[in-house]
A and B are shown apart, each in its own frame.
Chain A
Amino acid sequence: MISGRIPLIRTGHNTMTITQDDPGTTVLSIEHLTKSFDTRTVLENISFSVGRGEVFGLLGPNGAGKTTLIRMILDIFRPDTGTIALFGRTFSDDIRDAIGYLPEEGSLDKEIGVAECIRYFAMLKHMDSIDARTDAWLERLSLTGYRDRKIQDLSKGMHRRLQFILAVIHEPAVLILDEPFSGLDPLNIKILKDILLELRAKGTTVIMSTHQMDEVERMCDRILMLNAGTVVLYGRLDEIRQEFGLSIEVRYEGRLPHLDNVVSISDSGNAAELVVAKETDTRDLLLTLAAQVAIRKFEIKQRSMNEIFLEVCRR
């Protein structure tokens, strides 16, 4: 077991730290959270936890309650019932300063300069001297040439990168990202992903809300999926994928017979996508098929997050 102290806030005068016993220690713990607006229940009995150094995916269709959940983690809204604990404590100003947030929407003040903007938001996180850090981040995200330009001169992608800098400039212990890759080209998506992996390696907890399932598969350790305000999936990514059975791509000649133990079939005449339960004996299935049609291809895959997402949303 490793003991560690995560620096949370750096001010001109002192450094506040919160002790954590283990890299896997729970950073965020939400229990039985419910939130309603008027008579409409937006979140109902939500419970989950996120560990230190984890990349945690927050998934769900539009209107599932993700944004409300993020706003509640940020203490913009308070729960009707249930608890939210960060670092084992209820929300406070210290905790707010330990969080970095990249919202999906919203533009920065266009009239001010890039460096001035970074300085302002860093000061709101109690940071005084940030020039060297600013230069380093601007260089990392290819914005050095725009240091003294006004924000109105930035393209959409540059603006998004600047917002990312604002979210990480104070080296937050928890980084909450809402659709972090939207508006970015593939090159900058890669740069951002590299940075996120570096931050994770340093112990930063990343909570990422996104609809890009391929990125979820590549980056997330665990996920929580919401639908209509309730938890529909929660756990390790590999376990969830295993839970949802297997997908078998079959190319064949002949007439596809009726198959037992197949959850669903998408047949297009000489190719079919079969979804089978996790306990299905795929060898038996192959033999059954081979007895009746000429098999050209039989490829067993884990189901993609995109498939799982669609299936869960359709329920």
Chain B
Amino acid sequence: MSKKPIRFRDVARPGNDPLVSLDAQTLMKLDPLEEQPVPRTPRPAWLETYDFSLDGFSDFDRPRPKTLEEQERFVQAFLSGLEKLFDPRNNWTFLKALKLSLDYCLRCQTCSESCHVYLASGKQEIYRPTFRSEVLRRIYQRHFTASGRWLGSFLGADIELNFNTVWRLLEMSYRCNLCRRCAMVCPVGIDNALLAREIRKLFSQELGIAPAELFRKGSRKHLEAGSSTGMTPAGFRDSIESIEEIIAEKTGRKVKVPVDKKGAEVLLIHNAGEFLSWPENPAAFSILFDAAGVDYTLSSDLLGYDAVNYGVWFDDLELGRVALRHVEIARKLGVRKIVVGECGHAHKALCVVADRVLPGNLSLSEVPRESCLPLLRDIVKSGVLRLDPKRNDFPVTLHDSCNVVRLMGIVRPQREILQAVCAQPLREMTPHGVWNYCCGGGGGFAIMDTLNFSEWRNAVSVRMKVKQVLDVFKDVLDPGTRKYVVAACSNCKGAMRGAIAHYGLKDKFGIGYGGLADLIVNAMSDLPRPYIEWDQER
């Protein structure tokens, strides 16, 4: 990337020329990969229609306003949204955190190098956790505070507000994975990832602008069709038949997957993407729960078979709508609690964040929501399964989902499982646990593929995780040695899948990936053959 110093006033620079342009030479090095992929610039036809003025990448196939009047309306709508962001009725959900983070940042930059995007980009200024926050802060001060109006540039509140400023701010909010690693290190507790999410929220809730994959093809499809994958209840029931066939084929066992079983102990909700992309994962859950005698059910109700909640990335109302329906389904079935399958953001949304947008009778105290990981740990440790770790005699590393470790504090169960089911000691990445780096797919990035956004994701966002994986396997990089990256999260798996394909990690180094439940089943000594099939896409 170019290293010409960026100034805040550059954010208002008119035109479609990016503030920075990718240069493979300055991206963080990925030893031992020799050739650094060079992202392509936007297609000429795209440049005529869409805005790439931040860094030459975008997920928004929304035509640039053609006239000054359209641009002005856009800016005014943004200001209207910004005002509502600070209104206790419209933004009671996060106003306190927003105010604190906007008003009390000391600009010490302690958070800078906690951000994997900033580091992977070669420390590009626009990706620094504080850069977009500072733009937001300066606009807010200038337009909504008396001190900003009177003192202006003395406070730093001197950014010109035009279409380019607003659009680049939108794009910047989608250069943050919302992993919140920056919030861990801030001496004042400022949360720059929250500010990125608040910017996203402003655009979604006021201007109706959000990545298609998150809204139109995401939360809306989820609420209307039942799943962000488009899977309908009928489609779900078909996929359950497929799951039972997979189980029979792989294990020789006839396992009936319970669906809509009233009064079961547990409602298990998977990310529906698993049924389509990694069906062996929900199949593994059914094998394990069947073997352990867990009294559970899946749901075929609209939304009941898809745990995702994309609102947690960009829209509080969509977050509440999805969560409410999830918990109401549990009430309807009369289960005692919900257990969330291997999906990180669904963990955080359902078990933590959404608790305070639900009415009292759906509180966590009334309908508990738990992670699948402690339950899997207890099953493994109970001795009810016949496990032979030698079946998993290959190097294994664990990618921690940010949502599960840093944002929920679930760190040990997955490690205790791996200790019990793997022959070789777990290879911990540096850093790991709550200090992990995001897979690069967090905040919705794993599913965002409009225009050339995926090229940015592959070049920058997943880069740190690729480095960690290469580092942790550096003594066994021979492609003849199969290696397994455990990712107990659908979005993390999606990001790993993309990274492995983009950097050729499977062909060059024999690096594959998969879920945690799959690995447990692979260690079951009473199965006729290995559960994990290395020649599949993984």
| A, B: real partners | no
Give chain B's interface residues, CB within 8 Å of chain A.
Answer: none
